[in-house]
Amino acid sequence: EVQLVQSGTAVKKPGESLKISCEVSRYDFATYWIAWVRQMPGKGPEWMGTIYPPDSDTRYSPSFQGQVTMSVDKTISTAYLQWTSLRASDTATYYCARHPSSGWHIDYWGQGTRVIVSS
Amino acid sequence: EIVMTQSPATLSVSPGERATLSCWASQSVTNDLAWYQQKPGQPPRLLISGASTRAAGVPARFSGSGSGTEFTLTISSLQSEDFAIYYCQEYSNWRGPFTFGPGTKVDIK
């Protein structure tokens, strides 16, 4: 079955940088867009943006444009989400997920990476 | 940006009963609407796409209906494993953003 395996919990201080990863397997990484979704504690999911691995074409939600950077490494079927300067408000669980070819919904999700930003 | 609304915020249901969850979009999304189920500590799970198409492995007691701006998820006979939070999501504009609703929590009455 399709798998998206994310990096583990990250505990950081405000102002620090962070890059989290999402390694996919059991499907062709080059065929599907990969999304990132934020879920703050006790809140609903928020779609942050999506990236197309073959050419790194990226679309960001206006709410996240300029706040994060999405990237991929096709050689190891891995997608990344990074911050240059974290804030306490970035504390959340971040999911990578796959858009199927049939639409812009999400058919497979990673297990989530918890990011804690605290001084 | 399209705004998604869900009602009720919490639905208390007895096992075996029917549950009806509603989702509205601030403008037409045609039938580009998905439903997800989320349990504590887990990622969301796709139940329905295209407003009414069940995802692989989803039991037939889950059904979706609606189009345009009004949508419904019905669980015909609630099982113990169905107590969870349910989110709708629109995905009508290829540019995004693909907005989720605030969720409906289905708990045990």
* DSSP sequence for B67-93: ETTEEEEEESS--GGG-SEEEEEE--S
Whole-number Å distance between alpha carbons of A63 and A85: 16
The pLDDT assigned to B96 comes to 85
In this predicted structure, the answer to whether residue A108 has a pLDDT above a threshold of 90 is yes
CB A99 within 8 A of CB A32: yes
Strand pairing report for A113-117 and A108-109:
unpaired
Q: What is the pLDDT of residue B61?
A: 97
Does position A26 have pLDDT exceeding 90, yes or no? yes
**A6 touches B: beta carbon within 8 Å:** no
Per-residue model confidence as pLDDT tens digits over B48-95: 999 999 999 999 999 999 999 999 999 999 999 999 999 999 999 988
Q: What is the mean pLDDT of residues A99-118?
A: 96
Beta-carbon separation of B96 and A110 below 8 A? no
Whether the CB of A67 is below 8 Å from some CB of chain B: the reply is no
Element (H, E) at A78: strand A78-83
Q: How far is CA A86 from CA A9, A14, A119, B33, B45, in A?
A: 15, 5, 11, 33, 29
Chain A residue at shortest CA distance from B56: A107
- What pLDDT digit, counting tens, does each position of A47-75 carry? 999 999 999 999 999 999 999 999 999 99
**Is A101 in the B-facing interface, judged by CB distances under 8 Å?**
no
What is the rounded average pLDDT of the residues A96-106?
A: 94
Q: Which residue type is seen at B71?
A: F
Mean pLDDT of chain B: 96
